[in-house]
Amino acid sequence: MTNSVPIPLQPAPSTAASSCGGHCADFTIAENLCQVLSNAWVNAEYKHLVLKAPPIALAVLPGQFFHLNCPPSGNDVPYLRRPMSLYRVSPQDCTIEFLYKVQGAGTRGLATLEPGATLDAFGPVGQGFTLPPQARHVLVLARGVGLATMAPLAQHAVQRGARVTAILSARSPALVMSEQYLRSVGADVIVVHDQDGSSDIAHIEKLVRERHAQLPFDLLTTCGSNRFLLALQRLGQELDVPAQVALEQLMGCALGMCFACVRPFRKSPGSETMSYRRVCWDGPVFDAQETVTW
């Protein structure tokens, strides 16, 4: 059984994404009571959670997230909700999916959920990725749990007629996630990992330049990694291509009211003047050239 309590909200404009494809004003945020359909391990560190969700939760854009009310487990009693980026959405099946690493009190609680259980998922929240009009080639660069955040963008870009090059990074081949899924939606996938040294940032930048020479990129995207953020800042300037980054951040309310997730940003690309923005409400997706490493 699913249920939702709509809370009409007007998203604040973001410098990096002043509109979510022009659709933000059409959205409402809801406290969605979702039913767990499955919650299975995909490898030694990550689980894949599938929820039956009400219609309002299905109107989610790539890069947006849900604020999950994680259950207690053992001695862990999570006080705050946990922000979780969408991995997949299926309006036909009325499902939303999450890919998460089990590593703290909140995700340990999520890991205990069995099919049939109820999970409170507040959202969808935030400013997502902005795909340029008539984009022909999009780079998706991600590592670890960041792969979950980037999967909806890859699918959306392919559906819009763009070619997607997805570079997936992990410590080892066994920890690479989403490879088959991204191939199935039409992305060109390149896997790199630490064991053979192919995840070295110089090698990744070389791969991006080679792909750009074949068909110029219209957008460079990444999630969560300082190393990848710095690489996209360099490549974006060198190749004259816009770049966007989805940030990971602990949050309090996810509504922009508590200011617990505020971070410094450049007021504009290359500016020495800093401003402060809320990751939950002004992001979590930002212009990479305005984003400061952490």
Domains and CATH numbers, the chain: 3-125 (2.40.30.10), 133-241 (3.40.50.80)
Instruction: Take residue 96 and report the two structure tokens written for it.
Output: 């939303």
Each residue of 73-131: pLDDT tens digit?
A: 988 898 899 999 999 999 999 999 999 999 999 999 999 999 999 999 999 999 999 99
Which strand (E) or helix (H) includes residue 184?
helix 179-184
**Mean pLDDT, rounded, for 28-35:** 92
pLDDT digits (tens, 9 = 90+) for 195-218: 999 999 999 999 999 999 999 999
What predicted TM-score, i.e. pTM, was given to this entire model? 0.87
Output the pLDDT for position 268.
86
Q: Return the structure tokens found at 48.
A: 């894949």
Tell me the C-alpha to C-alpha distance, in Å, between residue 57 and each of 28, 30, 125, 284, 292.
Answer: 9, 7, 10, 18, 31
Whether pLDDT at 4 is above 70: no
Q: How far is CA 266 from the centre of its chain?
A: 21
CB of 50 within 8 A of CB of 97?
yes
pLDDT grade, residue 20 (50/70/90)? very low
